[in-house]
Amino acid sequence: MKLKAEKIGLSLEIEDQLLNNMTENGKIYYPNEFGGFLFGYYTNNNKHLIITDSVLPIKFKSSRYNFERSTEGIEDQLYKFHRESPSKFYIGEWHTHPDSNAIASIADILAMRSIISTPNSCIKNPVLLIIGDSKSKVKFSFYVLYNYNLYKYE
Amino acid sequence: MDKSKHLESVIRTHQITKEQQLLDKHIQKKNEVKEALEEKYGSNIYPPFNSGSYAKNTAINTKFDFDLVSPFKRNAFGSNGTLEQMYNDVYDFLYDKYKNEAEVKKQKVSIGLEFYADNEGDVIKIDVVPGREFNLDQYKEDENLNLYVYYRYGNFNSGSERIKTNINAQINNIKDRATKEKDSIRKIIRLLKIWKANKGNYPTKSFFLELITIKTFDNNEITGSLWEKLKTVLEYIRDNVTNENFKLIDPGNSSNDLADTLTTYEKQQLSSDMKNMLERISENEENLKTYFPENEKFKEKESVKNGYGANSGIPIPPPKLNFG
């Protein structure tokens, strides 16, 4: 799947297989939310993002309307991906909205903003994937934080 | 967040030259209206001139205001002609000429022409401001004009009042200042106009914001970054506009007090808006972006150059994140 945030001239791509894996992982915890970390790398003068992997949190809390993950155990993964070729790194987050739409909530926007204000996060434009999972269909929405605002990829 | 850097970007993305095509259309239409008035009124009118923000170099590209001041001779509408007759005559002429291509409406002291969208969706707005010299042939010497007040304008009552002013003196009020100070004043005026445009139909006139900015510079030592200068102006408005003795003298006529263009309630509203704005920005400086947004239309093109941003080092996710 290839998507663009036309307004800011950024794009991304992700394999369908990876999206399916995340969706299946989310279904395990239905009707509660679930999510994880996204990894990938930038190409084309940093205008294009290729999302290659998802890492699931070891510890998390979740309910029907909330998902809070910790970073326990993530450090090893960061270095493992960094040593690969091409070198991959943490680029954002994903989580599910069970029985709901794939639209970013206020909490989601605030969480994305807190990424860029965290020392050492190093990324200026974190990406957010929301999987809106209802019984009849699954919807994916990708967002990127740019100049403190969320832009949706189409 | 570098507040001044953001404010500079706000100004840059609102530069009128970024809308060159729309600007050209306004200039062309303004010239057409000017020629039509000169043809209709012949020797009874002095050359109409543009007095809006474009003339003062304080224009922003989200709200063009082209004011075409039309100075009439004292006897243009008969030796006993009234200002009301002048206003209505100009309205009738403009209505007849443009009724099929524009909405023609009577405004506070002007006649608004809002041309219907052209093939490219652009809407041109020109405000014609009829004015009359005080005495026959005096305009050539003093450039003073009487304007007709069509409807209530702050504390100026409709119909019964006239406004005497000198519009060229208003334009030169900024132009005559030292270059460095002039640039700062223009930047702050543009920012206040962007704030006002963002609030929709706000009662405070742009001219009021211009004068109060200049007054702040006249009454304070204004130094520092762009944000610090803007903050000083916002604080000055907050602290002074509701004072009983507060005056904003029209540089075109020292007996005109622009403070009278706002009612007491509107002044309180303005002061309270400044107070809230300063408090919200103090709580979280990112709120500055809500009050002074960049023009998305031009921000986009600039952003394309940037791409995804990353600092050196391995990115590390924040320890706890809470999603909803």
List pLDDT tens digits, range B173-225: 777 776 667 888 999 999 999 999 888 778 888 889 999 999 999 888 888 99
Q: Which residues of A touch B286 (CB under 8 A)?
A: 148
CA atoms of B238 and B228, how far apart (whole Å): 15
Architecture of domain B3-285: 2-Layer Sandwich (3.30)
Q: Are A58 and A73 in contact (CB under 8 A)?
A: yes
Tokens of B111: 């006649």
Answer for the pair B19, B61: CB distance below 8 angstroms, yes or no.
yes
State the SS3 of A55-91: ECCCCEEEECCEEEEECCCHHHHHHHHHHCCCCCEEE
pLDDT at residue number B303: 47
**Domains of chain A with bracketed CATH:** 2-152 (3.40.140.10)
| Of A49, A68, A75, Cβ closest to residue B320 | A68
Chain B residue nearest residue A82, CA to CA: B314
* Nearest residue of chain A to residue B305 (CA atoms): A9
pLDDT at A133: 84
Chain B residues near residue A108 by CB distance under 8 angstroms: 323-324
Structure-derived torsion over alpha carbons of residues B301, B66, B92, B157, reported in degrees to the nearest 10: 120
CA closest to B309 among chain A residues: A124
C-beta atoms of A93 and B317 within 8 A: yes
Comparing B105-119, B137-151, B176-190, B276-290, the range with the smallest average pLDDT is B176-190
Q: Cβ contacts (< 8 Å) between A142 and chain B: which residues?
A: none
Segment B124-136, tens digit of pLDDT = 999 999 999 999 9
Question: How far apart are alpha carbons A93 and A17 in whole angstroms?
Answer: 17
pLDDT of residue B312: 59
Q: Which residues neighbour B39 within 8 Å (Cβ) at sequence distance 6 or greater?
A: none
CB contact under 8 A, B300 and A8: yes
User: Considering CB atoms only, which of B294, B307, B318 is closest to A10?
Assistant: B307
Q: What percent of chain B has pLDDT over 70?
A: 92
Q: Which residues of A touch B320 (CB under 8 A)?
A: 68-71
Cross-chain Cβ contact B300/A9 below 8 Å? yes
Check residues A8 and B304 and name the one with the higher pLDDT: A8
User: Along the 154 residues of chain A, how does pLDDT read in single tens digits?
Assistant: 999 998 888 999 999 999 999 999 999 999 999 999 999 999 888 899 999 999 999 999 999 889 999 998 888 888 889 888 888 999 999 999 998 889 988 889 888 988 888 777 778 899 999 999 877 789 999 999 988 888 999 9
Q: Please answer yes or no on whether A107 and B322 come within 8 Å at the CB atom.
A: yes
Distance, in angstroms, between A29 CA and closest chain B CA? Answer: 15
CB contact under 8 A, A68 and B303: no
* pLDDT band at residue B42 under the 50/70/90 scheme: very high
* pLDDT the model gives residue B254: 83
d(CA A74, CA B126): 62
pLDDT of B47 strictly over 80 = yes
The dihedrals phi and psi of B185, each to the nearest 5 degrees, come to -60, -45
Taking CB atoms and an 8 Å cutoff, what residues of chain B touch A47?
Answer: 304, 307-308
More confident residue, B220 or B304: B220
pLDDT at residue B297 greater than cutoff 90: no
The answer, yes or no, to whether residue B154 has pLDDT greater than 80, is no
Nearest CB to B317; choose among A42, A74, A82: A74
Domain range summary for chain B, segments of one domain joined by +: 3-285
Give me the residue from A46, A93, A107 closest to B308, CB to CB: A46
DSSP strand pairing (B102-106 vs B111-115)? antiparallel
DSSP string over chain A = -EEEEGGGTEEEEE-HHHHHHHHHHHHHTTTS--EEEEEEEEETTTTEEEEEEEE--SSEEEETTEEEEE-TTHHHHHHHHHHSSS--EEEEEEEEEETS--PPPHHHHHHHHHHHTSTT--BSS-EEEEEEE-SS-EEEEEEEEETTEEEE--
The answer to whether the complex's ipTM is over 0.95 is no
* Cβ atoms < 10 Å from Cβ of A128: 24
Would the CB atoms of B318 and A91 count as touching at under 8 Å?
A: no
More confident of the two residues B96 and B287: B96
What are the tens digits of pLDDT across the range B264-281? 999 999 999 999 999 999
Decide if B323 and A9 are in contact by the 8 Å CB cutoff: no
**Mean per-residue pLDDT of chain B:** 87
pLDDT for residue B159: 60
pLDDT interval class at B158 (50, 70, 90): low
The burial of B277, by beta-carbon neighbours within 10 Å (0-12 exposed, 13-18 middle, 19 or more buried), is given as buried
Please name the residue that has the structure tokens 């907050």: B238
Using a CB-CB distance cutoff of 8 angstroms, which residues of chain A are in contact with residue B307?
Answer: 9-10, 42, 44-47
Q: How far is CA B3 from CA A117, B6, B14, B187, B231, in A?
A: 16, 5, 17, 14, 11
To which residue do tokens 């304007």 refer? B147
Query: How many angstroms away from the CA of B286 is the closest CA of chain A?
Result: 8
Give residues with Cβ within 8 angstroms of B248, minimum separation 6: B208, B211, B212, B215, B257, B258, B259
* Predicted pLDDT at B152: 59
Residues 6+ away with beta carbon under 8 Å from B2: none
